Amino acid sequence: MEEAKSKLELYFGEDEWRPAPFTEDEKERIREIMKENGLEAECLGDDVLEFSYYDGYTFVRARLEKEVNKYGVAEYILSYEEAEKDDEIHTPEALSQHDYYPGIDEAEELLEEHGIDLKKLREEAKKEYEKVKDEYVGDEEDLYESMLYEKYAEILDEEAKKEMEKWERNPRLTLKWNFNVVEVEPVVTEAYCPINIPHYHYYKGFNITLRTQSLGDIDTLLKVTDLITDMYMKYISK
């Protein structure tokens, strides 16, 4: 008996948890919980269950895994990611595929705000046009606009990266609830878009993680995610 116990400890280690497959009963119960909370199944594997929701405004992804310890006790790990369309971080790739680029005046204004000398840019466009006018399709003004929007895209891309980094630097919030620990952290949510040239949109999102031994706790958590994210926004706004 002592020898068998030692082998178990050797396999698991002290207080170690290992991935384990879901039973069919667990899968069915989890599917019911997710459906009750508006989430549809995306992948129901043996070790990982994935669900999602999208209504044109809110994006939700949920991922569930299971672990057991050497005593056969099971714990469920829920990762819940949510973002809203209003919190998009605009990138030049996404804007260009949806015809959201600004007019010339707005683009020039942004460049001037970032210290770009428009007179110098026009001179560069004129010199470049003289070099390529025999092969270039368009006139000097077309070339200037092309160079203008190239600079605009560079600035927008840099601003997007800074906005993403700033959002992800916000602290993680840890909540203790019903003998469980709930963690909330900022994430940049990616959303695939097939329109025109396939690309991604990026949003300021939240990831909520729960580790619990009760599937009922998962159901409860899914019903209060709005409250949790509101608490988090107040927390980082202090």
One-letter amino acid for residue 35 of the chain: K
CA 183/CA 132 separation, integer angstroms: 58
Residues 69 and 174 in one domain: yes
Q: What is the pLDDT of residue 119?
A: 93
Lowest mean pLDDT segment, chosen from 12-16, 35-39, 102-106, 191-195: 12-16
Shared domain check, 173 and 148:
no
Residue 67 and residue 144 in one domain: no
Same domain, 205 and 172: yes
- Considering the domain architecture, whether residues 105 and 206 belong to the same structural domain is answered as no
Specify whether 35 is located in the same domain as 133. Answer: no
Residues 181 and 214 in one domain: yes
User: Is residue 174 domain-shared with residue 65, that is, in the same domain?
Assistant: yes
CA distance 119 to 181: 58
Alpha carbon 98 to its chain's center: 20
Q: How many CA atoms lie within 13 A of 214 on its CB side?
A: 10
pTM: 0.83
218 in the same domain as 110: no
Residue 118 pLDDT > 80, yes or no? yes
**Same domain, residue pair 12 and 83:** yes
Of 150, 166, 182, at which residue does a domain stop? 166
Q: Judge contact between 78 and 63, C-beta under 8 A.
A: yes
In the chain, alpha helices (H): 2-12, 24-36, 92-97, 104-113, 118-132, 140-168, 215-222, 225-237
Domain count, the chain: 2
Shared domain for 20 and 108, answered yes or no, is: no
Q: Which domain holds residue 194?
A: 2-89+168-237
Last residue of a domain, one of 134, 166, 198: 166
- 81 backbone dihedrals φ, ψ, rounded to 5°: -115, 135
pLDDT at 13: 52
Distance CA 87, CA 92 (A): 16
- pLDDT tens profile 129-180: 999 988 888 899 999 999 998 998 999 999 999 999 999 999 999 988 888 8
80 shares its domain with 178? yes
Domain end among 142, 166, 190: 166
